[in-house]
Amino acid sequence: MNWFKQLSSRRRLYDDLSEEIQQHLQEKIEELVASGMPRKEAAAAARREFGNVTLMEEDSRAVWQWPSIETFFTDVRFGARTLRKSLAFTAIAVLTLALGIGANTAIFSLVNGILIVSLPYPKAEHLVSVTGAYPQGALVAMREQMRTMDVAAYAEGHDFNLTGRGEALRLTGTLVSAELFSILGAHPKLGRIFDRGEDIPGQDSYVILSHALWQQRFGSADTIIGRSIELEGVSRQVIGVMPPDFRFPSTKTQIWIPLHNDPRSVFHYWAGDFMPVIGRLRPDATLQQARAEARMFQSQAGALFPWPMPASWNADVSVVPLQNGMVADVRVRLLLLLAAVALVLLIACTNVANLTLSRAATREKEVAIRAAMGAGRQRIMRQLLTESVLLASLGGLLGLLFATEGLSLLKALLPADTPRLMDVRMDWRVLAFTGGLAILTGLLVGLAPALHISRGALTESLKSGGRGAASSVSQRLRSVLVVGEIALAVLLVIAAGLMIRSFWALSHVNPGFRSERILTARITPNESFCGDAARCLAFYRSVLDQVQSFPGVSGAALVNTLPLGGRVSKRSLELEDYVDPSGNTAPLFWLNIVTPGYFRVMGIPLLSGRDFGDSDVSGTPVAVVTAETARRFWPNQSALGKHIRLLDDKSWRTIVGVISDVRAYDLQRNTPNWIDGTAYVPHNPTATLEDRRVPSQMTIAIRTASDDSQIAAMLRDSIASMNHEVPVSEVKTMGAVVTEAVSAPASTTSLFVAFAALALLLGIIGIYGVLSFLVSQRTREIGVRIALGAQRGDVLYLVMKEGARFSFAGIAVGLTGAFLLTRLMSSELYGVSPLDPATYLDVALVMAAVTLLACYVPTRRAMRVDPLVALRYE
Amino acid sequence: MKRPEQRDLFPGALEMMILRTLKRHPLHGYALVQHIKRSSKDLLQIEEGSLYPALQRLLKEELVKAEWGISSTNRRVRTYRLTAAGAKHLEHEVSRFEKMLEGITRVLARGES
């Protein structure tokens, strides 16, 4: 029989059935009456013989039904009615679950968008990333030799001046090998992408614009294609505009410019940018083969260089899917957040389960009646579970709403350079996750109460009218739940405590400079302008002179790389009489080029020797090193008077001063681990960078008591009047620079704190609820005790003892859990051990205090019990 | 508190008895259950109501069909009659049951000796 026909004729079937059963009963009654039984008795006898009429009818109907679905809908309707009847309970439970599910959905959206959703490129599964960084020369060799994949490289952090037509603008550019776009499979919105070979000198004067730049600066005009623009004083033809959702390697990139692969400029070719390399696997190649080939290439790559390369260079090279490569930094952080938020949900579940259990006590009677009417245990359990799943689904819906809000908040809170943050949105995966989570949550919340209630001693509860039947089983279950809840809260609060301590340590790190009252700005003449060292230096000189004359400015200095500014200036240095253990005569230094007065302006303490003076600009070559560098290369002796030389420079420099260490790379490290030391040299024609030129990009640091925006405006004006082709960019206070350096840990910490606060709140509500229930259950007992002469203090002791038991057990379990689990977050901690005893102790004390406080309210109610009132209710 | 589960002896037994009874002549529900009770000499404790789910199952599998009519006592009744498929099914079930019974009997007999 076909299903649709069944459905349409079902009403008739049911009507037939009802009538048939009624007729059956009537016939029986008639027969019994005929045999001489009084009608009333006959009716009862007929029913007795027949059995449970409703159940039989239901069972008969069930034959025609698609059973689970139909009872499911019945259960849902019934559940909805039940929930509507106890609005307060429903509201609290739904809200609690919505918070839990919402937080999880928001964090999962991040995990999904960043770690799970595949990159927005065709056949993204074939895209790989070669771990390790290679200069142009190695890239070109790799491009020729690799058989398993096509490779491309890119170098971020190259800024370009855009001049001509309006105010000079500093653009963030990414240098790319010509194949990058085609390897990604990216298509331009307008024009074309780079062709093979367009990264060779003479064929590379092209540029591709980002969509945003095209809109803002070029008014979205299609005519831009084929036109030339001035970048760093060089004319480049615009050949393409990328679509708005193309953000490789990051959102910051405004222009893409071909690499300038010129083997003749040996230094640049072999030691310029060490670039990340991406690749696309060829159709028949596997990741393993690519990995093997990359290792093979690496083993020979060192020999390609015009100088010996340390054996450790890229020694652990591998090939990983591009997605993993791009998000490696945030993976741990995201997963930690997901774990934290999952704990919050668990606590929310526990809370609602407890709430349901309290209600179970009052519902036992209802369930008993339904069981008496013939409902099986499974049937009752299914009904109760449907109800809790319904509850959780409501929570899920509301949670989705919270999550939408939360997600926009998260996007604002997380550091803007979080990879793929812009790609994060709520897609079907997120919806499926939320749906699944809601159902799971509902089952979790409902399971304990359902099991308990359906097992309850029903006849007992019928007899006692629903009182006193809250058996010890229920009480034990509730105790376990509340202990678990406190334990989870303790775990989360400890995690948050560790994050706070770590963040505190990080933000109280002595960076080695004073960040107050310093305004910084990047001043960048065209590279060609600085090709003439004298002209370049004269320009900067006059900038400094003008700035120093601004009102309220007590000092100003220039530096090529500002501490925590995100740039590293590397330069190989020779040290007199020094050969390192591996035979390397020219360790890699971080070379800072500064104008005299820099240390004073930045408040960097001089430990020994002297500061640079104006005489050093032209006199005998000098240098200053940091304490760490002095210790490393001249242990147990003074570095003063020692000699160092920039590689290829003619004259040795004398070390005239040692300054204290500066956290220049980030707040945890002075320098990246591939840098051997830090040196400062005065800004003059001999102070050259790796390209043997004086730096064309300097940052000015201005110590001022005046209004920052006023000084910034004056700076722009005076530079524009000197040379209108020089943009001023990155205008920010040193304080802002430091804040940006801690933005990632700051956001993680604040999220952890928010989750921990939520957990704590839910935990407090939990223990409060359980104890209140306990007190209400024991009102009579307490009344009797008071009537028999118990003092308030005895009652206090009695109730608080219960509360303290929950609290201490929960704290003990939570501490153990934290002891076992916090090591997972050690990579995110700075300056604090995951087993930091102070944090554990503090959290334990705080949790004890808070939970006992939560116990106090119900305790007071117990102390106020009036024995007369309590006993009258018996 | 347990749901009263006085089902037939084993799954399908009630259905088999219904089919067997209907094979002789069509009957309505009440008459059917009275007949079964009488024939078993009240040895089988059958709740009268349990007949109806069984009848619905048979209806659904089209082993019986039902028609409304007026009984001899002038009552509106639904009379069930065996279909061809029902007859065949009955035959099959009875032979299966007999085999089973024989098996059980043999085992029980051996256990006694």
ipTM confidence: 0.82
A526 touches A725 (CB < 8 A): yes
User: Based on the domain organization, do A481 and A439 belong to the same domain?
Assistant: yes
| Cβ-based contacts of A365 with chain B (< 8 Å) | none
| Domain-embedded: residue A96 | no
pLDDT of A808 reads 92
pLDDT of A771 reads 78
Report the residue from B55, B68, B75 with minimal CB separation from A27: B75
Chain B contact probe: residue of A60, A378, A458 with most B CBs at under 10 A: A60
User: Based on the domain organization, do A586 and A699 belong to the same domain?
Assistant: yes
User: Based on the domain organization, do A242 and A341 belong to the same domain?
Assistant: no
| Domain-embedded: residue B46 | yes
Q: Is pLDDT above 60 for B7?
A: no
Q: Does A16 touch chain B (CB under 8 A)?
A: yes
Split chain A (874 residues) into runs of 10 and give each run's mean pLDDT: 59 83 87 88 87 82 72 81 83 90 93 88 92 92 93 91 85 93 94 91 91 93 92 92 90 92 88 90 93 92 85 86 85 88 89 80 74 75 86 93 91 83 88 92 83 61 49 71 88 91 89 92 91 93 94 94 91 84 80 95 94 88 95 91 90 94 91 91 91 91 91 93 91 92 86 87 81 77 84 84 88 93 86 90 91 83 78 62
Single residue among A65, A89, A116 that ends a domain in this structure: A65
Q: Do B47 and A28 touch (CB under 8 A)?
A: no
| Cβ-based contacts of B53 with chain A (< 8 Å) | 56, 59-60, 62-63
A-chain residue closest to B45, CA distance: A49
The torsion angles phi and psi of A415, rounded to 5 degrees, stand at -60, 140
CA distance A261 to A267: 11
Domain at B86, CATH number? 1.10.10.10
pLDDT of B2 reads 36
| Domain-embedded: residue B59 | yes
pLDDT of A375 reads 73
pLDDT tens digits along B34-84:
888 888 877 777 788 888 888 888 888 888 888 888 887 788 888 898 899
Which range marks the domain in which residue A23 is found? 3-65
Chain B contact probe: residue of A1, A63, A367, A380 with most B CBs at under 10 A: A63
pLDDT of A8 reads 61
pLDDT of A359 reads 76
Single residue among A289, A306, A326 that ends a domain in this structure: A326
User: Based on the domain organization, do A143 and A34 belong to the same domain?
Assistant: no
Q: Do A50 and B47 touch (CB under 8 A)?
A: yes
B-chain residue closest to A53, CA distance: B49
Tell me how many domains chain A contains: 4
Q: Do B48 and A372 touch (CB under 8 A)?
A: no
DSSP letters, A56-122, are HHHHHHHTTS-HHHHHHHHHHHHHHHHHHHSHHHHHHHHHHHHHHHHHHHHHHHHHIIIIISPPSST
User: Based on the domain organization, do A249 and A292 belong to the same domain?
Assistant: yes
pLDDT of A15 reads 84
CA distance A671 to A674: 8
User: Based on the domain organization, do A547 and A659 belong to the same domain?
Assistant: yes
CA distance A147 to A183: 15
Contact pairs from chain A to chain B, CB under 8 Å: 78
| Domain-embedded: residue A233 | yes
User: Based on the domain organization, do A450 and A557 belong to the same domain?
Assistant: no
The torsion angles phi and psi of A91, rounded to 5 degrees, stand at -60, -50
pLDDT of B8 reads 46
The torsion angles phi and psi of A307, rounded to 5 degrees, stand at -140, 160
Report the residue from A20, A49, A59 with minimal CB separation from B53: A59
Report the residue from B1, B53, B60 with minimal CB separation from A56: B53
What is the bridge-based pairing of β-strands A518-523 and A698-704? antiparallel
pLDDT of A102 reads 93
pLDDT of A176 reads 94
pLDDT of A160 reads 92
Q: Do A56 and B4 touch (CB under 8 A)?
A: no
- Cis amide prior to A511 (ω within 30 degrees): no
Tell me how many domains chain B contains: 1
| Domain-embedded: residue A107 | no
- Helix (H) or strand (E) holding A701, with range, is strand A698-704
CA distance A422 to A212: 14
Q: Tell me the H-state helices in A742-836.
A: 743-777, 779-787, 792-821
Single residue among A17, A47, A65 that ends a domain in this structure: A65
B-chain residue closest to A460, CA distance: B1
Chain A contact probe: residue of B52, B55, B71 with most A CBs at under 10 A: B52
| Domain-embedded: residue A702 | yes
Residue entry with tokens 């971080």 = A590
Buried b (16+ CB within 10 A) or exposed e, A197-217: ebbbeeebbbbbbbbebbeeb
pLDDT of B9 reads 60
3-state class (DSSP) for residue A625: strand
User: Based on the domain organization, do A164 and A310 belong to the same domain?
Assistant: yes
User: Based on the domain organization, do A289 and A345 belong to the same domain?
Assistant: no
- Between residues A202 and B1, which one has the greater pLDDT? A202
pLDDT of A108 reads 93
Chain B contact probe: residue of A24, A373, A454 with most B CBs at under 10 A: A24
By CB atoms closer than 10 A (0-12, 13-18, 19+), residue B83 is middle
pLDDT tens digits along A347-403:
888 888 888 877 776 677 777 777 777 777 777 888 888 888 999 999 999 999 999
User: Based on the domain organization, do A285 and A143 belong to the same domain?
Assistant: yes
pLDDT of A873 reads 58
| Domain-embedded: residue A88 | no
Q: Nearest CA of chain A to the CA of B68: how many Å?
A: 9
User: Based on the domain organization, do A411 and A546 belong to the same domain?
Assistant: no
- Greatest extent of chain A over all pairs of C-alpha atoms, in Å: 135
Which range marks the domain in which residue B34 is found? 13-112
- Cβ atoms within 10 Å of A185's Cβ, excluding its own: 15
pLDDT of A78 reads 83
| Domain-embedded: residue B4 | no
What is the bridge-based pairing of β-strands A570-575 and A588-594? antiparallel
| Domain-embedded: residue A78 | no
Strand partners, A591: A679
User: Based on the domain organization, do A381 and A483 belong to the same domain?
Assistant: yes
CA distance A598 to A232: 27
Q: Do A26 and B76 touch (CB under 8 A)?
A: no
Amino acid at A650: K
Q: Nearest CA of chain A to the CA of B97: how many Å?
A: 24
